[in-house]
Amino acid sequence: MKMKLFVATLLLVGCSLVAMAQQGISKVYNSKNVVYFGIDYTHLKLVHNKGFINRNGNELCASLTFKYFKEWNEMFVIERNKFDLEELLYVNEYVIELDSSDRRNNNYQTEGCIIGNEEYVVTEQQKEALVQHYSSEQHQNGVGILIVGELLSKEMDIGKYSVLYFDLKSNEILLSEKVEGKPGGQGIRNYWINSLYESLLDNKINHRKRIKKLKK
């Protein structure tokens, strides 16, 4: 009897969690109030030296903070037709607020930014802490979107990111996606931002699957 009750309780909890997850996903795709906060690079690691040491033998870590982080963030503004989140993420009309991510990226810890661990990831707990730093004065309700830069490696020929969708009122993460893409193009700016663009393109199929499931 106790075993049956235990199993029934587990099934009930499981069903409740699934329902809550579906509600969160539904909010992501149906919200009429979406704020994109940019790319947070504060946990980014560069894996292996290749491509990250200049001709003088110095690491490029410092140039990330005063140059590339801001340039990569601004690509969603200056090339909005290409980096259109309505097209890439299947969200409704959105506004862009980059001040918070720019400010945090300026405080990036450059010491130890190049590592050898190819399995490096930003943990779910770290992501939950990250979104607590993001809010909008103009939009207290709706969905916030934050991209987390996790890993860049020229040797591995990859850039890895997480896309976080969170409730603007509670800062609760509604959906967390890991994406990765192949870099390419001329110059450091274009080379690495293309890894993010390709990762978002490749992930469109998952958005289509979720939306199709919501319509059933």
Q: Provide the pLDDT for residue 160.
A: 98
Span 121-145, mean pLDDT?
A: 96
**Residue 60 pLDDT more than 80?**
yes
Span 87-94, mean pLDDT?
A: 92
Cα–Cα distance measured from residue 41 to residue 195, given in angstroms and rounded to the nearest whole number? 14
Q: Provide the pLDDT for residue 107.
A: 94
Per DSSP bridges, beta strands 94-96 and 173-181 are unpaired
Residue written as tokens 């001329």?
186
Query: Model's pTM, two decimal places?
Result: 0.88
Cα–Cα distance measured from residue 189 to residue 171, given in angstroms and rounded to the nearest whole number? 31
**Residue 202 pLDDT more than 90?**
yes
Q: Using 50, 70 and 90 to split pLDDT, how confident is the model at 13?
A: very low
Q: How many CA atoms lie within 13 A of 134 on its CB side?
A: 36
Q: Provide the pLDDT for residue 23.
A: 75
Higher confidence at residue 123 or residue 15?
123
Q: Provide the pLDDT for residue 65.
A: 87
Q: Using 50, 70 and 90 to split pLDDT, how confident is the model at 151?
A: very high
Range of the domain at 151: 2-214
Q: Provide the pLDDT for residue 198.
A: 97
Q: How many domains does the chain have?
A: 1
Residue written as tokens 């020229």?
154
Whole-number Cα distances in Å, 82 to 109, 134, 160: 30, 25, 19
Q: Provide the pLDDT for residue 1.
A: 53
8-state DSSP, 59: B
